[in-house]
Structure 1
Amino acid sequence: MPHFNSAHTQVFQNGELTLGLMTPFGDATHDLADMEDQFRLAAMADELGFKALWVRDVPLMVPQGSANTASNLDDPFIWLAGIAGVTKRIALGTAAAVLTLRNPIHLAKTALSMDRLSKGRFILGLGSGDRPAEFAAFNEDPETRAAVYREHWKLLRSALSSSDEQRSVLRSATGGFDLMSKPASDIPMIVVGTSRQSLQWIAEHADAWATYHREDARQQGRIGLWRLSLEQKGASLNKPFIQSIQLELSSDPDTATEPLELGLRTGRNGLNRYLAGLKTMGVSHVILNLTLKQRNAGEIIEEIGQYVIPRFPP
């Protein structure tokens, strides 16, 4: 059995639901986020009891989605390194690094360094990439991304393991050389989306699976398929299910819940009911992606920390 770092223990607590936040907080489609303000908010989230801060990996500013907007983001690992310096306990994760467009040896070295810098607070979430323009820019074939993902994953899993036996794959790829001292404990690796893999493959190889918000009945069905895949592979039924959600939190705690694309608009009472339902379904961790229209991020983070997190104690 893997011996995981402290991030895994903190974020994934058997039978419980924990909350994390996507960073940067707010709109990432115009100016780059103000680092000083963002790092202040990250420290606030740490103090309030959020369990993880997450960041996306967007190599190129390619317009995407129904709004046809482009994300304007810093390098995810340098961004998380900055956050690591202003926080103490909260886990730091990628959701997700584009595994198919990154050299796996470089990525392994970065992940090992991030885990060391954060004192075991790092989680590596990995996706297969979904922007054709990025594959063209990197001179990579998008049609091979499923196979490339599996190949790169195998090397990364070896490099991020504390087991000498597991690390043989890395040494075979490097001619017998290590990247740096092996980690004291395994760095968790999670699949974000399906990454063009079967659920059976994800159940066998990933330490957790992260997917997006769906209507309750559909999400319950996905969780059922996840559990079935774990059973088929003989894997531990405790492998976590993670869900992201786009959240517009009203200042009125009793605001009725309305659907948004990949999320919802509600007050804190509706949010508490929604999260309680996810916990009952078996969701282990929820990544909140805050929509800022009428309120600033600090207000929302403080309200969730004061009125929502205490409803879901570890």
Structure 2
Amino acid sequence: MQNLPEGRLAYGMQLPVQSQSTLYAEAWEADAGPDDLVEIARAADASGFAYLASCDHVAVPRRLAAAMSTVWYDPVATLAFLAGVTEHVRLLSHVAVVGLRHPLATAKQYATLDHLSGGRLILGVGAGHVQEEFEALGVDFERRGAVLDECIDALRAALGPEEFPSHHGKLYDFEGLGQRPRPAQERVPVWVGGSSPAAVRRAAVRGDGWLPQGDPRERLPEQIARLGRLREEAGVTRPLTVGAITEPLYVGRPSWAVGRRTVSGSAEEIAESLRAYGAMGVHQIQVRFRSRSRAELTDQIAAFGSGVGPLLG
């Protein structure tokens, strides 16, 4: 199953405002809120973006708050809110730390989201990295990889077509418990996040897609080749949607300091840079635009959709 339209390099974006790590948040986001998210989501929906993504942290410990901030909107609530003001764009959790919750609770939330949005959910999952978060919720941090592996298997069952799903594993065991509404999709795509050897193996064997975390361009071909080898060894034949997170972008010639890593210039210049991802075997790119205001961001989204997007075929 290919989760996105074939024949071109698809593009989506992590939403601003809903997570405000100092690694990427723009200054204007500190005072932004729901109205800003609505306008940004509508702009992306109108500009051909494949998905909007929202992160997941339950609570951030004080030792990490200065860098991560404590602004992390709940992904289910955020994506459901934006489903109501958009029509086409898909809704991605990037990533849900599903090991923090029982799979039946997670399935109830995301099945409802898929049902209400008309089948637009992509469930992105990851192992998580904040130890205090796991400890506060009574989950074993050291075994989070094994927990995630079983969570994916349990969620496959719980998000499948059966009203009374069943799963019998080491950590979770359920059957005879009905959940409706069912997802609108026959198979909810599960994209696995992370770039560690364990995460890449998990994506190759269990995922419908791979969401790398911080891999620079030059490392992607090696990672993609490893995905292929692992899938071949495991006998996995279903399609895998390979993703990449691009450098920051600015469509046009910026009149302000957008940072040395930012790719800027004409639509053709940016498209030429991004087409290199497709040549590596990437199917979808996650883009982030430099901006000084919501208006500048929505202008960038529109310029990308009208100018750059058509050149990514």
Is 1:13 aligned with 2:11? no
Structure 2 distance, partners of 1:134, 1:73, is 13
* Other-structure match for 1:22: 14
Q: Deviation digits for residues 98-153 of structure 1, max 9, x if unmatched?
A: 11212211101011000001000001000111112212322322111111111222
TM-score when normalising by structure 1: 0.84
Q: Point out the more displaced range, 215-224 or 301-310.
A: 215-224
Alignment partners' CA distance in 1, 2:7 and 2:40: 28
Instruction: Give, as a single letter, the amino acid of the residue that structure 2 aligns with 1:142.
Output: F
Q: Counterpart in 1 of 2:76?
A: 77
Counterpart in the other structure of 1:215: 216
- 8 Å CA contact 2:251, 2:270 repeated in 1: no
Query: Counterparts in 2 of 1:61-210, with a 5 A limit?
Result: 61-62=60-61, 68-162=67-161, 167-169=165-167, 173-184=173-184, 185-194=186-195, 197=198, 199-210=200-211
Contact 2:126/2:193 (<8 A) preserved: yes
Unpaired stretches in structure 1, ≥5 consecutive residues: 3-7
Provide the residue aligned with 1:228 in structure 2.
Answer: 229
The percent of aligned pairs where both chains have the same amino acid is: 26
In 2, are the aligned partners of 1:24 and 1:33 still within 8 Å (CA)? no
Matched to 1:300, the amino acid is Q
CA contact (8 A) 1:26 1:290 kept: no
**1:211-290 equivalence runs, <5 A:** 211-236=212-237, 238-249=239-250, 251-252=252-253, 260=261, 264-268=262-266, 269-290=268-289
Q: 1:75 Cα shift?
A: 1.0
Provide the rounded CA distance (Å) in 1 between the counterparts of 2:199 and 2:75.
27
1:307 maps to which residue? 307
- Tell whether the 8 Å contact from 2:17 to 2:33 is kept in structure 1 after alignment: no
Give per-residue Cα distances to partners, 1:267-292, cap 9 Å, x unaligned.
Answer: 34442122110011111111113333
- Any idea what the Cα deviations from partners look like across 1:78-103, whole Å, max 9, x if unmatched? 11011100101111110000112122
Partner Cα separation in structure 1 for residue 142 and residue 53 of structure 2? 28
Q: Which residue of 2 aligns with 1:5?
A: none
What is the CA RMSD across the aligned residues, in angstroms?
3.2
- What do residues 149-194 of structure 1 show as CA deviations (whole Å, max 9, x unaligned)? 1122221110112268x94328993341122254351111111114
Q: Alignment length, in residue pairs?
A: 301
SS of 1:21's partner is strand
Matched position secondary structure for 1:120: coil
Distance in 2 between residues matched to 1:183 and 1:189, nearest whole Å: 13
Please say if residues 13 and 284 of structure 1, whose CA atoms lie closer than 8 Å, have aligned partners that are also in contact.
no
2: distance between equivalents of 1:235 and 1:287?
25
Unaligned runs of 5+ in 2: 22-28
* Cα distance change of structure 1 residues 27 and 80 upon mapping to structure 2, 3 Å threshold: closer
- Name the counterpart of 2:26: none
Letter in 2 for 1:266: S
Query: Contact 2:20–2:68 at 8 Å: present in 1 too?
Result: no
Letter in 2 for 1:18: A
Residue 222 of structure 1 aligns to a residue whose secondary structure is: helix
Find the residue that maps to 1:197 and give its secondary structure.
helix
